[in-house]
Amino acid sequence: MNTKLFHYRHSDGLLNKVNPVVKLLMLIILSLINSLLDDLFVIVFFIICVSAMALNRINFLSVLKQSVFFIIIGVVFFITSHSFFKMLRYYNMVLICIIFTYTTSVFDLSYSLTKYSLLRKTGKILSLTLIMIPLALDSFSQVILAYRSRNFSIIKHPFSSLTFIVINGTKKYIEKVSSFSDSLQSRLFQV
Amino acid sequence: MDILSVNNICFKTDNKYILEDISFSIKKGSITALCGNNGAGKTTLIKVLKGLLKVSLGEIYINGLNVTKKSGERLKKIGLVFQDPDLQIVGETVEKDIEFGLRNLNLTSVEIERKVNKVINELKLIDLRNRDPLTLSGGEKRKLILADILVMDPDIIILDEIFANLDYPNVKVVLKLIQELKDLNQTVIIVSHNVEKFLFLTDNLILLKNGKVVYNGKSSLSIEVLKENEICSQNSFFENMLMP
Ligand SMILES: Nc1ncnc2c1ncn2[C@@H]1O[C@H](COP(=O)(O)OP(=O)(O)OP(=O)(O)O)[C@@H](O)[C@H]1O
Ligand SMILES: [Mg+2]
């Protein structure tokens, strides 16, 4: 199955069924453990992570392919700190995050949070943020595409193009947010 | 009985009237076309109806109940499908997107599941259930946003420019969906500046021009008015589509 990094996909895996708030707590605890563990256990931890991925039918090779960026950073860690285990701790952390986001719908998480009255607002704002981020990415990439399609070289005019992109991207974003807020309101979403 | 009736509605911004003295009523289970050229005031009118914009003057009744001042009530009773599906889809999977509105109603998860399953069956979305909405085709996305609204059980469904950007096969898909809504005895208002594609499906037609109603009556009798007002071209040959 094709895996997109940090992107929820529906599956019948065991971890998908665990309550999202429990998973969030597990994420926090596991990352603490990962940084406090003895060096040797870090290897065991890594093996556990990989088996957890296998159990949830996450394609390890496909994850590997998409994680080139993180792998490079790990290698930089290794070169600068001369510590194999530091690098491994870092990879463990990335793997935990990948497993968490792959098996947890952020919407489920934010809705589970709203069940606890203290976290109600946090949950709502979390889901609102998650809705708005792709909208922003979309607005800016649209503006950049519009410039490039008219042969405007961003490299030749870095300053003016940056100003244009920021101003027009923000304009576009505000436009999108306002129609989006209409549609959220019409589906009775309230913060 | 009329499910929706609108009496002398006006909408003003700054000092310009965008809607002036609009009155009409709609019967339960009927399909109405709301048309008019660009800038006629269609989108403004439906936003006012839905409660996203405040009425400046006039009254709105739903099922005989005066809801002019109750915009929350109107938000619930009127389901509005906006033009751009990408600005309405929020869920990570089709199923989660359909759930979104229900969760905002604070229903139990059993109730949510029942309603979602019902809509998924009605709109035949079973195969798409676990798909990422971003990977759907244009027609499938329309189907999804229709499901998003239908699941909330609105009394009236308004579709704003639902045919925009659709190719012929997808237009047929949406037409079939509207026919299915009609079979379910839903009340539907289809808003568009281009009525030729769907006029044959509708019972009544309301034509707006410069913020005023210029025609309100049977669709089958509207062709001359549509031609006069340049909603369709003089040599349109879609009369024969109106025949039963
Ligand atoms: N907030 C506003 N302030 C000033 N004028 C507005 C505002 N909103 C809409 N208008 C004007 O009101 C008129 C009606 O706009 P509306 O969007 O309702 O038209 P429409 O019938 O939906 O057109 P289209 O077919 O292009 O979607 C337009 O002339 C528009 O410029
Ligand atoms: Mg419009």
Please check whether residue A45 lies inside any domain of the structure: yes
pLDDT tier, B224 (very low <50, low <70, confident <90, very high otherwise)? confident
Which residues in chain B are contacts of A135 at CB distance < 8 A?
Answer: 87
Q: Tell me the per-residue pLDDT of B176-222, one tens digit each, with 9 for 90 and over.
A: 889 988 888 999 999 998 888 888 899 999 999 999 999 999 888 88
Same domain, A21 and A93: yes
Same domain, A85 and A160: no
What string of H, E and C letters represents the secondary structure of B56-68? CEEEEEECCEECC
Q: What's the total number of domains in chain A?
A: 2
pLDDT < 70 regions, chain A:
1-4
More confident residue, A171 or B83: A171
Minimum CA distance residue for ligand 1 atom 26: B38
* Global ipTM: 0.71
More confident residue, A139 or B243: A139
Same domain, A80 and A140: no
pLDDT at A4: 67
Q: Tell me the per-residue pLDDT of B27-41, one tens digit each, with 9 for 90 and over.
A: 999 999 999 999 999
Same domain, A96 and A22: yes
CB atoms within 10 A of CB B220: 16
Is residue B145 predicted with pLDDT exceeding 60? Answer: yes
The mean-pLDDT minimum among A156-165, B89-98, B123-132, B188-197 falls in A156-165
How far apart CA B158 and CA A78 sit, in angstroms, is 59
Which residues in chain A are contacts of B88 at CB distance < 8 A?
Answer: 180, 183
pLDDT tier, B239 (very low <50, low <70, confident <90, very high otherwise)? low
- B91 touches A at CB < 8 Å: yes
Same domain, A92 and A22: yes
Please check whether residue A2 lies inside any domain of the structure: no
Q: Are A154 and A147 in contact (CB under 8 A)?
A: yes
CB atoms within 10 A of CB B163: 19
Minimum CA distance residue for ligand 1 atom 3: B13
- B148 touches A at CB < 8 Å: yes
User: How far is ligand 2, taken at its centre, from the CA of residue B85, in Å?
Assistant: 14
User: How far is ligand 2, taken at its centre, from the CA of residue B103, in Å?
Assistant: 29
Average pLDDT score over residue span B52-68: 91
**Residue whose tokens read 């285990």:** A85
Please check whether residue A6 lies inside any domain of the structure: no
Residue A32, domain extent: 14-104
Same domain, A19 and A89: yes
**Residue whose tokens read 């870092």:** A90
pLDDT at A87: 92
Give burial (CB, 10 Å; 0-12/13-18/19+) of B29. middle
pLDDT at B49: 93
Same domain, A95 and A135: no
Query: Which of A87, A104, A121 finishes a domain?
Result: A104
**Residue whose tokens read 């003003």:** B12
